[in-house]
Chains A and B, each alone.
Chain A
């Protein structure tokens, strides 16, 4: 069944969108990532204009994260306090990100920036996580207890705060900075930033993996919600019909994802996420390195 999208001004298959939403929703529930880093490139691929894909994806992430976070709230695996601190940073970052996005759009280099961001961040985070989880799995197999880093430079910073759910007593500065960075990425890349947030929480802040997923989803809702509003009011690129189709699939998928995620071990979960991140990174890097079949592209007129 073909559906015409009023803002994107293209006609696409409704079932294809439902399926995409569902598949990405499962991953979102499993890993606490919004799934935007997979969905946005997929939307480009089926012919949605990039600006519309980025803005609409933010709206869809709100839905799948909300669906996921409710499941986590019932299991009490959300650190609301930590989430709020991350969120404050996130909102500042999102505003900065939309500003950078609009500036680069006027230069015609937004595609390059988005792709470079993806390759660099996905590459670094994916390989770090992969190596770390592999080591963790090896250690559990050989019977040694997993070593947890208790103290590093982060614990020397001022403005300490107690985060009971995570069992942490650390400075609010690192979570704030993580929040700002993720907010910027959320706006530029049309992603919730979970794929950066989750490893940052585990490795930088030292939060337990079980709490990380729910907390990440919690703050993603607000950051992407804010991003959606900014895109809707400055660029007019949120396509409601597209968003509804994606989120109907997405929210159902997220529920299944949360169920699957609760049955896997933390190390297995991390290694799967790392592999997925690396695959997407590799695909994008190849696109940049191999000569494209069509060198030319058509875009909206530049404003000068």
Chain B
């Protein structure tokens, strides 16, 4: 068995003739009180042992994906004259944020088969197991999910946003919105030729609440009663403070 594996590895090695060397402007995003979104700049080079193959041209795809979470997509329907939530589709895993940047139009950078294998495009990043048993037309729900999140800037497809120089150096900037959830943001770089993935590289960006945000969030989860009482204390103190201040103003 072992020698078979060795041969396979040797066979596979020449395929990785081109490799990514990546730099990130930051590998950590801190959500503080005045957090207003963040821009991540990714830059890198393509390392190779042999001369650059001319055709087909090399392309780069960059993806950043937020944590996967189960969600429910609901559709309103008219029942007894009013619009209410009727059908719903449970999506087993959808990224809370997903951005793609490519070096050329989508059709030129990736083919269907490799998209399916590496789950790169936005529809592929959403996993909906058993969707057909839940509603008659799950695709309409998935499309709606993508449409709503694209409108909110949570799902982004930027064709041609990766700047590739001499088929060796590339860079791109990805805008992350203000309403980020915490977690590991998987960052992937794919090199493709003629729509086929020839090499890929993965790293992650850590998105964390810090300072006051971190403290409040932890308190609310770990000691909810203390958190609730603190909220009330602040509310009562503020109410009393304002009342006292106004009395002083009017008497003085």
Partners in one complex: yes
Q: Which A residues contact B (CB, under 8 angstroms)?
A: 1-4, 6-7, 9-11, 47, 59-60, 62-68, 70-71, 74, 108-109, 111-112, 225, 228-229, 231-233, 236, 238, 240-241, 243-244, 247-248, 251-252, 254-255, 287-292, 294-302
Q: Are the CB atoms of B179 and A240 closer together than 8 Å?
A: no
Q: Are the CB atoms of A244 and B75 closer together than 8 Å?
A: no
Q: Are the CB atoms of B243 and A296 closer together than 8 Å?
A: no
Q: Mark B177-193, 1 if CB is under 8 A from A, else 0.
A: 01111000000000000
A sample of 15 cross-chain residue pairs with beta-carbon separation below 8 angstroms, ordered by A number, consists of: A4-B33, A4-B35, A11-B178, A63-B234, A236-B220, A236-B221, A240-B216, A247-B234, A247-B239, A251-B239, A251-B241, A294-B144, A294-B148, A296-B73, A298-B145
Which residue on A lies nearest to B239, using beta carbons?
A66
Please judge, given known A-B contacts A232-B220, A251-B242, A292-B83, whether A243 and B235 are in contact too, CB under 8 Å. Answer: yes
Q: Which B residues contact A (CB, under 8 angstroms)?
A: 31-37, 69-78, 81-85, 88, 90-91, 141, 144-145, 147-149, 178-181, 209, 212-214, 216-217, 220-221, 224-225, 227-232, 234-236, 238-243, 246-247
Instruction: Name the contact of A66 in the complex, choosing from B213, B227, B236 (C-beta under 8 A).
Output: B236
Q: Are the CB atoms of B241 and A238 closer together than 8 Å?
A: no
Inter-chain CA distance A273–B181, complex, in Å, is 40
Q: Is the interface of A mostly helix, strand, loop or mixed?
A: helix
Q: Are the CB atoms of A7 and B225 closer together than 8 Å?
A: no
Instruction: Name the contact of B234 in the complex, choosing from A65, A109, A112, A244 (C-beta under 8 A).
Output: A244
Inter-chain CA distance A240–B75, complex, in Å, is 32
Q: Are the CB atoms of A11 and B37 closer together than 8 Å?
A: yes
- Determine the chain B residues whose CB is within 8 A of the CB of A252 once the complex forms: 242
**Chain A min CB distance to B251 (Å):** 11
Instruction: Name the contact of A63 in the complex, choosing from B212, B216, B239, B246 (C-beta under 8 A).
Output: B239
- Determine the chain B residues whose CB is within 8 A of the CB of A6 once the complex forms: 209, 212-214, 216-217, 220
Instruction: Name the contact of B239 in the complex, choosing from A70, A74, A233 (C-beta under 8 A).
Output: A70
Inter-chain CA distance A298–B228, complex, in Å, is 28
Q: Are the CB atoms of A59 and B232 closer together than 8 Å?
A: yes
Q: Are the CB atoms of B230 and A292 closer together than 8 Å?
A: no
- Determine the chain B residues whose CB is within 8 A of the CB of A294 once the complex forms: 144, 148
Instruction: Name the contact of B83 in the complex, choosing from A225, A244, A288 (C-beta under 8 A).
Output: A288
**Chain A min CB distance to B170 (Å):** 30
**Chain B min CB distance to A114 (Å):** 12
Q: Are the CB atoms of A3 and B33 closer together than 8 Å?
A: yes
- Determine the chain A residues whose CB is within 8 A of the CB of B214 once the complex forms: 6
Q: Are the CB atoms of B33 and A295 closer together than 8 Å?
A: no
Which residue on B lies nearest to A113, using beta carbons?
B84
- Determine the chain A residues whose CB is within 8 A of the CB of B247 once the complex forms: 74
Which residue on A lies nearest to B31, using beta carbons?
A4
Inter-chain CA distance A86–B103, complex, in Å, is 67
Please judge, given known A-B contacts A296-B148, A299-B74, whether A228 and B232 are in contact too, CB under 8 Å. Answer: yes
- Determine the chain A residues whose CB is within 8 A of the CB of B227 once the complex forms: 232, 238, 240
**Chain A min CB distance to B227 (Å):** 6
Q: Are the CB atoms of A232 and B145 closer together than 8 Å?
A: no
Could you list 5 further interchain pairs (A-B, Cβ under 8 angstroms) beyond the known A229-B228, A238-B227?
A: A66-B236, A228-B235, A296-B76, A298-B74, A298-B145
Sorted nearest first, the 10 A-B pairs with minimum C-beta distance are A66-B239, A232-B228, A11-B178, A251-B242, A296-B144, A301-B70, A63-B235, A67-B239, A70-B243, A4-B35
Q: Are the CB atoms of A225 and B232 closer together than 8 Å?
A: yes
Please judge, given known A-B contacts A2-B36, A66-B236, A298-B149, whether A238 and B231 are in contact too, CB under 8 Å. Answer: yes
- Determine the chain B residues whose CB is within 8 A of the CB of A3 once the complex forms: 33-34
Instruction: Name the contact of A112 in the complex, choosing from B84, B180, B228 (C-beta under 8 A).
Output: B84
